[in-house]
Amino acid sequence: MVAFVSPLGAEVVTLKNGMQYEGRVGKIGTLGADPLQPSGAAGQVPTRQIVLIDDDLRRIFVSSWQVQSAVAQHTPVERIRIDQRTAVSARRVAAVGPILRTTAWDEFGRRILSMNTADGPIHVVQGITEITPTYTRVEGLQAKQSYVWDMRIATSSIPRDVLSSVLMRQIDSQDADERLRIVRLYIQAERYEDAKAELEQVIQDFPDLADLQKQVVSFQQMSARRLIREIELRRSAGQHELAYNMLDQFPDEGVAGEILLQVRDMLDDYKATNQRAQQAAESLQQHLTEIADANRRTEVEPAVQEIFRELGLNTFDRMADYLRLAAADELTAEQKVSLAISGWLLGSGAGTDNLAVASSLYQVRAMIRQYLNAPQVHQRRTILAELLSLEGSTPANVARLLAHMKPAVETEVTESEVPGFFTLSVPGLTGEGDFEYLVQLPPEYDPYRLYPCIITLNGAGNTPEQQIAWWAGDYHSDFRMRLGQASRQGYVVIAPKWTKPHQREYEFSAREHAAVLYALRDACRRFSIDTNRVFLSGHSMGGDAAWDLGLSHPDLWAGVIPIVATADKYISRYWENGRYVSFYFVAGEMDGDRMTKNAIDWDRYLRPHYNTTIVMYQGRGHEHFHDEIQEIFQWMNLHRRDFYPGTFECVSLRPWDNFFWWAEVDNFPAASITLPVHWPPTGRPARTEGRLMQNNRLILRTAATQATIWLSPEMVDLNNHVSISLNGRNLREVPEASVEVLLEDVRTRGDRQHPFWAKIESSGRGR
């Protein structure tokens, strides 16, 4: 084929968090100045310590301390210029207002974009002027009212029929080399099916290029490998039925033998696992019938029947202890059944061969479920007393039971047009009524599997339903599922109805915080959410809320993704809390004065000890930026919450911003508290500092006069003396592991992965 053209000198930058970016690389000192004209003046960040990566679609800003490596990458890139009558001597678009409407692209690569401005709506005639594998340049064209405007959109967002029409009108269709440029462009964009279709048409139009048929075959291999990656993605997302069907129907015509062998191996793995599960069930049934004591057999039969019903690919590993010893002659049938039941309840490696204990654990789990669903205190006390009388009801066993059981609150599945879609409510603040929220579960949701989760907050003029569609895609009745990225990658999406009617801006209020946090906690009680992988996001004023909530409660999130958000009020005062949560900002460089408003805070986040990425789309304004969704998921897949940091130091200005990891404090000094209606503050924020030390010791310093210190085995050894220092004084109270504390913590927080086993409450003067 014809050699590549338009070489672009670039570097591949790898960050410590695993993300990679390719583009021209430079360094600047602050985002408060023009990034293309870096200054040596000192600013909020040490001079020129912000790395800028320009890929012509976006400008990505990261801290130089976050860069793992940068390697020169001179990749030739196909660039095809499109002739258009661009506006030259006309009004220049300096800021992009709210977009009202965008027409579809016509066959010439033109459209009309309508947006609001201070002077009213304007209508800009735009045209595609350059197409590359990653970005497409769109410029203002000459019209009755012309505007100079250079914006970039992702080429992946443009349908092939539009691209093909525009490109074919630009090139000489009778020139084979020109036609092959289009093929190369699709290859570089990894649009292999499009490249194959274009190349087949070229070969048909130019029979003397028949030897390029081998390239068509290579595209089939590329498409097959991409399909393999999609199957692996679906499998890793727990969508085993879909993955199996894709493997079973994998196209074999023209596909290399090594790829077909890989497909066969994956199919064989599924078949072998299903066969082993069936054999395990048959073996367990046989061992159950061999139990001589009829009463004992009747007692454990419900647990065994549950295993038969619910054993699957997501739970098969729980049978490891049983399968390893199922054929051991030295064990009785009772012992083998005990290993199966206890492994099912507690997980692999925790099995016991004492059937009385295993049977008791099954009852303990039932009592745990009752406790977590009991609405009244006296009911919970009665259940707890009965639970503690059962054999095996130790804190360690209760913690493992919680981790391996289904969510405690059973959510009735009603007939719905969209499978896995729910509208739910949770009691709100006193006098506020209930909070509603929407949930979209991923395909093949299994309550025994943990799923990452996205909390998404709508902006003014948008709805929670639209936020669900942005992440999970629109519903397609032919496939009986949504086809967006959250569905593909196995994420639960939650969209709280967090705003008041006609609300136009974020209010930084307790009601708004509660609407989000209560929805998250209620969803964790109902659905199998991986609390180490909960991401918070929002658009526009929803992005403002996400930014504020992320800083106010950094212990809750694996990452925060504010999209076209603005730093204001508490956000600018809580910047230090940003050290403990990862941020991924998406914005448009022409979004009014938002860049100026955010620059000081962004500069602070681009220091050592912060994990922040800022993505700025060139020539774009206040938009939803669905162009970025693939990169956002790549970023999320690389991040986990650290629930036990060695040290933290957080600030608070509101009374409800009072819990951080294992510290819950109350009664801040009045001088440190500023409610939203009393903004701006007159005093300094209250500080809360925690440290996990060696030798079973922890330290808490806080300005609050009351503190509750929550403890778990991941923090300290509760079987030995625990030394606790609060504001410089050693506490005398001795923490003890307690089933009641453990269950109450899970009931209120909904986190079954990290329950606290003990707590110490102390009151006294703050520092």
Asked if residue 627 lies in contact with residue 134, where contact means CB atoms within 8 angstroms, the answer is no
Overall average pLDDT of the 681-698 stretch = 95
Tens of pLDDT along 577-610? 999 999 999 999 999 889 899 999 999 999 999 9
Overall average pLDDT of the 277-306 stretch = 94
* pLDDT, position 478: 85
What is the 3 state secondary structure string of 629-687? HHHHHHHHCCCCCCCCCCEEEEEECCCCCCEECCEEEECCCHHHCCCHHHCCCCCCCEE
For residue 209, give the 3-state DSSP assignment.
Answer: helix
Which percentage of the chain shows pLDDT scores above 90? 82
Tokens standing for 50? 């912000």
Phi, psi at 765, each rounded to 5°: -75, 145
Confidence of residue 204 (pLDDT cuts 50, 70, 90): very high
Cα–Cα nearest to 63, from 750, 614, 638, 692: 614
- Cβ–Cβ contacts within 10 Å for residue 482, how many? 25
User: Residue 122: is its pLDDT beyond 70?
Assistant: yes
Cα–Cα nearest to 284, from 337, 327, 352, 243: 337
Confidence of residue 99 (pLDDT cuts 50, 70, 90): confident
Strand 147-148 relative to strand 91-92, pairing: parallel
Strand 583-588 relative to strand 559-563, pairing: parallel
* pLDDT, position 542: 98
* pLDDT, position 288: 95
User: Residue 192: is its pLDDT beyond 80?
Assistant: yes
Overall average pLDDT of the 689-698 stretch = 95
Confidence of residue 9 (pLDDT cuts 50, 70, 90): low
* pLDDT, position 581: 97
**716 vs 159, residue with greater confidence:** 716
Confidence of residue 764 (pLDDT cuts 50, 70, 90): low
User: Residue 243: is its pLDDT beyond 70?
Assistant: yes
User: Residue 766: is its pLDDT beyond 60?
Assistant: no
User: Residue 614: is its pLDDT beyond 50?
Assistant: yes
* pLDDT, position 42: 46
Overall average pLDDT of the 90-119 stretch = 89
**Which pTM was predicted?**
0.93
User: Residue 750: is its pLDDT beyond 90?
Assistant: yes
* pLDDT, position 254: 80
> How does DSSP assign 262-299, residue by residue?
HHHHHHHHHHHHHHHHHHHHHHHHHHHHT-S-HHHHHH
Rounded Cα distance, 613 and 634, in Å? 13
Place of tokens 């570089």: 188
Rounded Cα distance, 57 and 152, in Å? 5
User: Residue 429: is its pLDDT beyond 60?
Assistant: yes
Tens of pLDDT along 369-381? 999 999 999 999 9
* pLDDT, position 166: 94
Tens of pLDDT along 299-354? 999 999 999 999 999 999 999 999 999 888 899 999 999 999 999 999 999 989 99
Tens of pLDDT along 632-678? 999 999 999 999 999 999 999 999 999 999 999 999 999 999 999 99
* pLDDT, position 413: 72
* pLDDT, position 767: 45
What average pLDDT does the structure give for the chain?
Answer: 92
Overall average pLDDT of the 474-500 stretch = 94
Asked if residue 456 lies in contact with residue 439, where contact means CB atoms within 8 angstroms, the answer is no
User: Residue 414: is its pLDDT beyond 80?
Assistant: no
Confidence of residue 4 (pLDDT cuts 50, 70, 90): very low
Confidence of residue 133 (pLDDT cuts 50, 70, 90): very high
Architecture of domain 7-76: Roll (2.30)
Cα–Cα nearest to 586, from 556, 543, 549, 619: 543
Instruction: Show me where the domains of the chain are located.
Output: 7-76, 81-170, 280-404, 421-642, 660-763
Asked if residue 321 lies in contact with residue 343, where contact means CB atoms within 8 angstroms, the answer is yes
Distance of CA 590 to the CA centre of its chain: 27
Confidence of residue 152 (pLDDT cuts 50, 70, 90): very high
Phi, psi at 708, each rounded to 5°: -120, 125
Confidence of residue 32 (pLDDT cuts 50, 70, 90): confident
Tokens standing for 44? 């909020």
Cα–Cα nearest to 30, from 16, 12, 43, 17: 43
- Please provide the size of the chain in residues: 767
Confidence of residue 217 (pLDDT cuts 50, 70, 90): confident
Tens of pLDDT along 10-23? 899 999 999 999 99
CA dihedral (167, 170, 176, 181) positive or negative: negative
Overall average pLDDT of the 189-202 stretch = 91
Lowest mean pLDDT, pick from 85-94, 407-416, 604-613:
407-416
Place of tokens 């005062």: 573
Place of tokens 């019903």: 309
**640 vs 33, residue with greater confidence:** 640
Asked if residue 489 lies in contact with residue 448, where contact means CB atoms within 8 angstroms, the answer is no
CA dihedral 554, 559, 561, 565 (to 10 degrees): 20
Overall fold of domain 421-642 = Rossmann fold (3.40.50)
Tokens standing for 173? 């269709």
